[in-house]
Structure 1
Amino acid sequence: MRLTPLALAALIASPLWAQETGTTVISEGAAEEAAEAVAAEVAGDADNLQILAASEVTLDDLLWLRRPIVVFADTPADPRFTEQLELLTARPGPLMERDAIIITDTDPAALSPVRTKLRPRGFQLVLIGKDGEVKLRKPFPWDVREITRSIDKWPLRRDELRRK
């Protein structure tokens, strides 16, 4: 399932309504919830590609287990954010083969542990190795092919390929 950026923006911008009062509910985690909703909607057919909010995970939990791909934005309505999620979920297979996990953070005010550690400005794509080291930062969306080519150059990934 592939949504257009306009459809994603509409999904994000739609207010959360109170059950019977007809008033708009705004919570502290509304931005994170919107990002999760977008990720879940976009990733509906992405098999087992995990997309988590930064508030749900710490990078230390993933050490030596997964390769985090962190997508930051100042708002879930950022067109670069929606484009990056579309690119990542369009081809989940190569990312799953490389033990990747997607982490999103669209709430600068929340100061999640991931945001505090990586200190992004605006939109940023961050590739992190299983060793917990930042391998690459990009200020614009990247295609899965570019991401996997970068991952395949890392020493630990080359060792994994040799062992297979």
Structure 2
Amino acid sequence: MVFSLNLPLYAAHAGGLMKPLVTIVFSLLFPIALGATEATEAPQPETATDMAAQVETEGDTEDAVLDPDSTLLFLDAREVNVRDFIWERRIIVVMAETPDDPQFNRQLEALRERSDDFVERDAIVIFDAHPADRSALRQVLRPRAFMTAIIDKDGEVKARRPAVRSGRELMAVIDRFPTRRQEMLERRPSGR
């Protein structure tokens, strides 16, 4: 059973009361949505994008894949539990209706080009181009077509956009988060 909220998610930024409401709804819906996706089979790569994203998991590089401190992870939304990353990583979500969507491929490429910068910002990428599988993230975020979203370490959706963003734009958004500003002060206390 999946509950739906009849308010648009962008309304979360409109008022002070909507933000806590959306956070609560997100935290309540996520466990429900995860129950619907636990019995899925391991997907096979269907396109060049899927294969490129899964290159990280093949071969002898399994240790490098499991270390998000040195490699930007690209994870399939159908195979991941987002709750594992709360308070540990920022999540950049890239969704599309099909893996062949040009915006989807451009967004993933923009993230790969700046992967070291995103690793420095404790980010991982979760992608979903298979709406029929109804991943937990897709059920919560409900994209209409292509979408890029950023979920901060606290589990709140801080930004979402229905267009491709450059790596530089995404980093600028992340750098404005209060948690990121605090991290920068802790890592470099003398210089801002």
Regarding TM over 0.5, the answer is: yes
1:37 is the counterpart of 2:46: no
Query: Which of 120, 144, 157 is equivalent to 1:121?
Result: 144
Query: Which of 49, 55, 64 is equivalent to 2:72?
Result: 49
Judge conservation of contact 2:50–2:99 (CA < 8 Å) in 1.
Answer: no
Query: Which of 85, 108, 114 is equivalent to 1:91?
Result: 114
Pairwise CA distance, 1:39:
2.1
Give 2:101's aligned residue: 78
Gapped runs of 5+ residues in structure 1? 1-26
TM-score by length of 2: 0.65
> For 1:60 and 1:79, how far apart are their aligned partners in 2?
29
User: Partner amino acid for 2:124?
Assistant: I
Pairwise CA distance, 1:58:
2.0
Secondary structure class of the residue paired with 1:89: helix
The percent of aligned pairs where both chains have the same amino acid is 44
> For 2:93 and 2:52, how far apart are their aligned partners in 1?
15
> For 2:143 and 2:94, how far apart are their aligned partners in 1?
10
Pairwise CA distance, 1:138:
0.8
Judge conservation of contact 2:87–2:154 (CA < 8 Å) in 1.
Answer: yes
Give 1:154's aligned residue: 177
Give 1:101's aligned residue: 124
Secondary structure class of the residue paired with 1:121: coil
Query: Which of 149, 164, 175 is equivalent to 1:141?
Result: 164
> For 2:81 and 2:42, how far apart are their aligned partners in 1?
20
User: Partner amino acid for 2:75?
Assistant: L
Number of residue pairs the alignment of both structures matches: 136
Pairwise CA distance, 1:28:
9.2
Q: Which has the higher contact order (CA 8 A, sep 6+)?
A: 1
> For 1:102 and 1:33, how far apart are their aligned partners in 2?
19
> For 2:80 and 2:107, how far apart are their aligned partners in 1?
20
Gapped runs of 5+ residues in structure 2? 1-40, 57-69, 188-192
Give 2:63's aligned residue: none
TM-score by length of 1: 0.75
Secondary structure class of the residue paired with 1:49: coil
Query: Which of 43, 57, 62 is equivalent to 2:85?
Result: 62
> For 2:94 and 2:181, how far apart are their aligned partners in 1?
24
Runs of 4+ in structure 1 over 3 Å off: 27-30, 32-35
